[in-house]
Amino acid sequence: MSNSLGIHALSLRSEPWGASRYKRAVESTLAQAGVTIGASARCDIRVHDERAYAAFLQGSMGVGEAYMDGHWSAEHLDHLMARLFAAGLQADPPGIGTFAREVLAKVVNFQSRSRAFRVAEVHYDAGNDLFERMLDSEMVYTCAYWSEGDTLESAQRAKLDLVCRKLGLAPGMRVLDIGCGFGAFMKYACENYGVTCVGYSVSAQQTALARARCAGLPVEIVLEDYRAIPRSGQTFDRVVSIGMLEAVGVQNYRTFMQVVHDVLRPDGVALVHTVGSNVSAQHGDPWIDRYIFPNGMLPSIAQLGAATEGLLVMEDWHNFGPHYDKTLLAWNERFQAAWPELKSSYTERFKRMWELYLLAFAGAFRARSYQLWQLVLTRPGCPQPLCRVS
């Protein structure tokens, strides 16, 4: 089972097919999801190159690469993806490739400490100019909270404040931020709640910018994996991890929670913010893995339950998945608007890859296949904190 991009349910055919036969197979399968395919403006999927039909038979990798190559397009890519997700179509055609990934994922720790920096090199170091244009002014690269804001700016501020209130931050508290990105949470928490922060990140580019943005604040940033955090003392009042668990991997969820447990003061509070999946997977989607988030995968409730069991008590589990649909659309809008200025630094193929990433995820959240979870956690035996806020 994988965190499927939900692109199609077609199985690999070994015999050589003519283009028309590929076309018929793709059309009849997509028709089950109410999706039409062709070359006209009325079709949900417009095919610009006949090779797209064969690509559609090759799982998310084929579909994604064909999109990047301009072999097909869709006027409403997010609607299309939501419909494919809603129909429950599988991204991975069952076959030897899927089987091999399943086996490998159990044997190899794809998110080992030595591999942990890979996602930074491929994704987070893609270019700060890109993220500066796409994100809000505080550069929050995680799901916004639209209940209290109707612009990306205000919704991201609302999310940061929601986290601070759930954690019950108070002046002088020492806060650990695991996967601190561009430092937006630490900056907000220091400026508005008077805490001091230590952040960990595996992205050199993010860390450089985060240090600059947090200059003058009681913030220390360490360019290291979460497994390098000293665990000998329970030295943090609060631990937060916003949008980093997606890179941890099922083999390491327990280690991650053990780190949270070990560094937290006995009466401390932790908050983990992550995208979640409806199904327990052993690996991520192949196209996303190659092009967007190397070694990324989404946890399930059962996996997080097993990972925290006996280590941490779950005090509150908030799901606001639909807010990520809106966030991704806002990012895509800003990305498209900035493209004329970004195009000198990035290829057209990169642009298509990036918009497919943003809009495929938007579709997955709209179809309710992916969720956005905030878990508040404490050490066993602690009094319950006042963390049930919205």
Nearest CB to a copy of itself, comparing residues 130 and 313: 313
Residue 123 DSSP class: I
Stretch that binds a copy of itself, among 110-118, 208-216, 272-280, 282-290 (CB under 8 A): 272-280
Kindly identify the residues of this chain, within the stretch 34-93, that bind a copy of itself according to CB under 8 A.
86
Placement of tokens 């931020």 in the chain = 177
322 binds a copy of itself (CB under 8 A): yes
**Pair of tokens at residue 102:** 């399943």
Kindly identify the residues of this chain, within the stretch 179-208, that bind a copy of itself according to CB under 8 A.
none
Three-class SS state of 30 = helix
Placement of tokens 């064909």 in the chain = 66
Beta bridge partners of 272: 241, 375
Binder of a copy of itself out of 32, 137, 319, 345 (CB under 8 A): 319
Nearest CB to a copy of itself, comparing residues 353 and 375: 375
Binder of a copy of itself out of 129, 309, 341, 348 (CB under 8 A): 309
**Pair of tokens at residue 158:** 């609302």
Nearest CB to a copy of itself, comparing residues 90 and 207: 90
- Inter-CA distances, 60 with 81, 191, 241, Å: 12, 43, 29
If binding means CB under 8 A, how many residues of this protein chain bind a copy of itself? 37
Sign of the torsion formed by the C-alpha atoms of 247, 251, 255 and 260: positive
Binder of a copy of itself out of 9, 229, 239, 304 (CB under 8 A): 304
282 binds a copy of itself (CB under 8 A): no
* Alpha-carbon gap, residue 36 to 24, rounded angstroms: 12
308 binds a copy of itself (CB under 8 A): yes
Shortest spacing between CB 42 and a copy of itself, in angstroms: 25
Residue 377: closest CA among 220, 284, 263, 232:
263
Three-class SS state of 314 = strand
381 binds a copy of itself (CB under 8 A): yes
Contact residues for a copy of itself, defined by CB under 8 A: 86, 278-280, 300-306, 308-310, 313-322, 367-369, 371, 378, 380-384, 388-390
